Amino acid sequence: MLGVREKLSYGMGDFASAFTWASLSLYLMYFYTDVFGISPALVGTLFLVTRLWDAITDPAVGLMADRTRTRFGRLRPYLLFFSLPLGAMLALTFTTPALSENGRIIYAFATYIALMGLYTLVNIPYSALPVSMTTDNDERRQLTNYRMLLSYIAFVLISYGTLPLVDFLGNGDEQRGFALTYAVYGVITFVVFLLTFKGVRERYVEGDSASNPLKSFAHIGRARPFWIMFATSILIFTLMLMPDSAAIYFFKYYLGEASSVSLFLAMGYASMVAGVIFNQLVMRRFCKRRVMIGANLAYGVALASFFVAADHGPAFYFAAFMAAKFINGIIAPTMWAMVGDIADYVEYKSGRRATGTTTSAVTFSQKFGMSIGGLLTGVLFSTYGYTPNASQSETVLVLIKSMMSVLPAVGAFGVAVLMLIYPLGDRRMAEIRTAKPTAA
């Protein structure tokens, strides 16, 4: 049985990851367009190009993790050796160099691609750890909940503290403020990942990994549940998380109250923390698949209501956003628990363990979806005439409000439909875990 200290140590890894992931979700688009000074269309192109790089690095890291053998285990060494470079690159990504326009564009591409490569080297092995830490389904669920809980606590801190910290450290200079703020965040990333490395243990690493990398991906490619989860992840990270990056534009341009966005986001993520806690009660009583169907339908309704609430004052749009984020707190840990199910399913069907490879494939779909969301935002902004740091047209204002509501609601309803055909319910997974080659 895993102790509370080890579960907490594992969860701290996603607290550290959040300093990169939350920053990409909440502030990177704004930083590039309004602070760094490059066009929305170019930012969208940057996000897409980086995902093409991820198509190589994600599976490569997954394969490396499955074949790593050290005295520290298979997965933990990646946290030890790559967390410092990750923290340093996070700081550099949010730094604006004194270069020409073309020089800044090259710098943006180089630092962002390097950041995502280092994030992959740390986060894919981290995400695969629960399968190596325990074979107990309930304990894996608990690890996922610890992970999500601490992740969204970090999101609360980052969403509430980043812009005030930028203002304080920059003394009115946003470029300087972002650079100094993310230097602090880089140090936190490194230190907290070291705590995770020291606090967790890999107990189940004896599985027979496929000797041929192509076979590993062939086994995954034949798994129908994987492709459903792949499509689910793309919808979630393309559309459902769009309000996170759109919020700063909504407050700055639609409401004209940019200073209020930190409180808005922090209250939303505090609601997600409550949702993650509530998820523990829900998952004890209901199948993961059913939870995903019901929660995504409710999430879509809450998001759609924001479109109307936005014009009826703070009490209404704060309530709609907090309700949506509470439900999102139920969805997120459920989805991550299902990733472990897919790894077990692939092992059951193929006879070979490929946890890192499976995790990398799902993680790639999430980052690919996030890049499509960024590209979509950039294309929409460019098409409808968004101009940084200027008054926006009525068309752009409606677009921003739709990015907070209608567009992500479509994604949520799409996920609910996909879950209707997802075949791995909890009862079926119990049978699979008993029958797979490395069953305890």
Residue 182 to residue 205: CA distance in whole angstroms: 36
Q: Using an 8 Å Cβ cutoff, are 3 and 172 in contact?
A: no
Q: What is the pLDDT of residue 18?
A: 93
Q: At a CB cut-off of 8 Å and minimum separation 6, what does 305 contact?
A: 320, 323, 405
Distance between CA 439 and CA 391 in Å, rounded? 61
pLDDT of 323-382, one tens digit each?
999 999 999 888 878 877 887 888 777 776 666 667 677 777 777 777 777 778 888 888
Mean pLDDT, range 31-39, rounded to an integer: 92
Task: State pLDDT tens for residues 96-139.
Answer: 999 998 999 999 999 999 999 999 999 989 988 887 888 787 88
Mark out the alpha helices in 69-212 (DSSP H runs): 76-93, 101-133, 137-170, 174-199
pLDDT in tens, 421-438: 998 888 888 888 787 665
What is the arithmetic mean of pLDDT over 317-323?
A: 96
By percentage, how much of the chain surpasses pLDDT 90?
A: 50
Structural domains in the chain, CATH included, are 1-204 (1.20.1250.20), 211-439 (1.20.1250.20)
3-state secondary structure 291-310: HHHHHHHHHHHHHHHHHHHC
Q: What is the pLDDT of residues 67-80, one digit of tens each?
A: 778 888 889 999 99
**Per-residue model confidence as pLDDT tens digits over 405-418:** 999 999 999 999 99
Count how many residues are written for the chain: 440
pLDDT at 208: 45
Name the more confident of 396 and 211: 396
> CB–CB of 115/85 below 8 Å?
no
Q: Are 10 and 143 in contact (CB under 8 A)?
A: yes
Burial class of residue 69 (count of CB atoms within 10 Å of its CB; 0-12, 13-18, 19+): exposed
The average confidence (pLDDT) of the chain is 87
pLDDT on residue 205: 65
Q: What is the mean pLDDT of residues 301-308?
A: 95
What integer pLDDT is reported at residue 353 of this predicted model? 67
pLDDT of residue 251: 94
Q: Are 154 and 25 in contact (CB under 8 A)?
A: no
Q: What is the pLDDT of residues 206-237, one digit of tens each?
A: 544 545 556 666 777 777 888 998 888 888 87
pLDDT at 212: 58
